[in-house]
Structure 1
Amino acid sequence: MSGRQTDALDRLWPAYGFDIAADLDGPLDPAVLFGRRSPLVLEIGSGMGDATAEMAAADPDRDYLAVEVHTPGIANLLDLVERRGLSNVRVAEGDALDLVRALPAESLDAVHVFFPDPWPKSRHHKRRLIQPAHVALLRSRLVRGGTLHCATDWAEYAASMRQTLDADPELVDAHDGFAPRPAHRPVTKFERRAVTAGRPIFDLIHRRR
């Protein structure tokens, strides 16, 4: 990590971050976590945090809970939170599904799963986040009308995502197929590299009935 990232992690983690395995010993109340009751967006796999910080800055009436396992990414997001003066971002380290299980039913306005690990080898597909049991769990935490928004640059995973999301009985495809690229989803370095390499980007947006 850079010196700035290390400093941000040391100073800001107690105020803005928590460890899912160590710090969660029961249900998580978002109103206590953020100090207010507002629509909540869950960002699963926030990477270096640039997209999360940009969306949170443009959307101050909603709270953003980012989940990541990569320490430099967590530190970078904390640095962005401070530099941009964001009060509507919190960062969790650890297993996103354990965090989701701790959240109340119908507590999320949206779930973002942007460029998750595609686990391309067939024997590793069981590790993918977007599979029926996980989608059912995520959907149960969405409010009625809430959105599950996925994006990937891996065509085979995109097709699998679409099949899985369409099969959920309580999710409705908002665009009857792959969605036009939403303006609210910032372009990250990862996405620019994918486009430069010639890989198309697939967005899927489903709403809970």
Structure 2
Amino acid sequence: MTDTPQSPFDPNPPRRNFYGRRHGKTLRQSQKGYLSEDLGELRPRGITVQDNPDRQRIDPTATFFGDERPLWLEIGFGGGEHMVHMAATYPQVGVIGCEPFINGVAMLLGKIRAAGVENVSVHPGDARDLMDVLPDASIERAFLMYPDPWPKARHHRRRFVTPEHLLPLARVMRPGGIFRVATDIPDYVRQTLEEVPLAGFDLLSSVAEPWEDWISTRYEQKALREGRVPHYVTFKRQG
């Protein structure tokens, strides 16, 4: 019996607190068109696990047109500049992006059309739900670019760089896989340097100069205009 590609996401997922916006200002008509016409074909696809018919997982081969290719993950792609740039720069990989803010999803879909990239997949939701259904050790590179800083101390537990997010990320990343973090918030750098190694990652670099294949995003440009210094941190998955 052949597994059939389908949606890997649980229709009744575990209840989780979600912090942040899902909708912003009214979408333009063209953006509504991107969502209705393009998003369905770009969602990650899954297969039923043969020895457990109640469990599904993302199938990278089904997601990327039957190709087996390295899989990269962008966590919270914002407006999509970085994700589309990486997909265009590295056409031999498959890039999955997750973003719960629907206006950002619509912006990304417009950029995908304009760039003509085909090696992308889009999950319009929480990264935790995506990591629930990714296979173990399936991600070769992950990106966390200018995440929500949650600046108040009582909100620091909402940041991505906490065990609730980092331990599932460590599970889905391959040994030796690269995890990049970019932020302009010094306290976010502090927490990143403290928490990420505890989840099974080795620090490779923590510098003020971007990576060679970096593209400046609107969030970085805003930070520079407001006098904040961006920071770029690179980790390697242990193992």
Tell me the TM-score normalized by structure 2.
0.80
- Paired position in structure 1 for 2:180: 149
Asked which structure has the greater CA Rg, the reply is: 2
Choose the corresponding residue for 2:204, options 167, 171, 174: 174
- Paired position in structure 1 for 2:146: 115
8 Å Cα contact 2:64-2:94 kept in structure 1: yes
SS of residue paired to 1:140 = helix
Per-residue deviation, 1:18: 6.1
Superposition misfits of 4+ residues, deviation over 4 angstroms: none
Choose the corresponding residue for 2:122, options 91, 111, 114: 91
Percentage of identical aligned residues: 30
Q: List per-residue Cα deviations over 1:103-128 (Å, max 9, x = no partner).
A: 01100011101111111111111111
SS of residue paired to 1:61 = coil
- Letter aligned with residue 192 of structure 1: Q
1:208 aligns with 2:237: yes
8 Å Cα contact 1:16-1:78 kept in structure 2: no
Name the CA shift for 1:102/1:178 in 2 (closer, same or farther; >3 Å). same
In the alignment, the residues of structure 2 paired with residue 27 and residue 63 of structure 1 have an alpha-carbon distance, to the nearest angstrom, of 16
Q: How does 1:56-135 map to 2 (within 5 A)?
A: 56-135=87-166
Structure having the higher helix fraction is 1
1:183 aligns with 2:201: no
User: Which structure 2 segments of 5+ residues have no match?
Assistant: 1-26, 46-54
Tell me the TM-score normalized by structure 1.
0.90
- Paired position in structure 2 for 1:138: 169
Q: Which has the higher contact order (CA 8 A, sep 6+)?
A: 1
Per-residue deviation, 1:68: 0.5
Per-residue deviation, 1:179: 6.3
Choose the corresponding residue for 1:28, options 45, 50, 58: 58
Per-residue deviation, 1:145: 1.1
CA RMSD of aligned residues (A): 1.9
- Letter aligned with residue 181 of structure 2: C
In the alignment, the residues of structure 1 paired with residue 44 and residue 202 of structure 2 have an alpha-carbon distance, to the nearest angstrom, of 33
Please identify, of 73-82 and 39-48, the stretch whose mean Cα deviation from structure 2 is larger. 73-82
1:199 aligns with 2:228: yes
- Paired position in structure 2 for 1:22: none
8 Å Cα contact 1:139-1:148 kept in structure 2: no
Name the CA shift for 1:119/1:68 in 2 (closer, same or farther; >3 Å). same
SS of residue paired to 2:73 = strand
Choose the corresponding residue for 1:51, options 62, 66, 82: 82
- Letter aligned with residue 188 of structure 1: T
Per-residue deviation, 1:2: 2.1
- Paired position in structure 1 for 2:193: 162
In the alignment, the residues of structure 1 paired with residue 102 and residue 164 of structure 2 have an alpha-carbon distance, to the nearest angstrom, of 28
In the alignment, the residues of structure 2 paired with residue 85 and residue 178 of structure 1 have an alpha-carbon distance, to the nearest angstrom, of 33
Alignment length, in residue pairs? Answer: 203
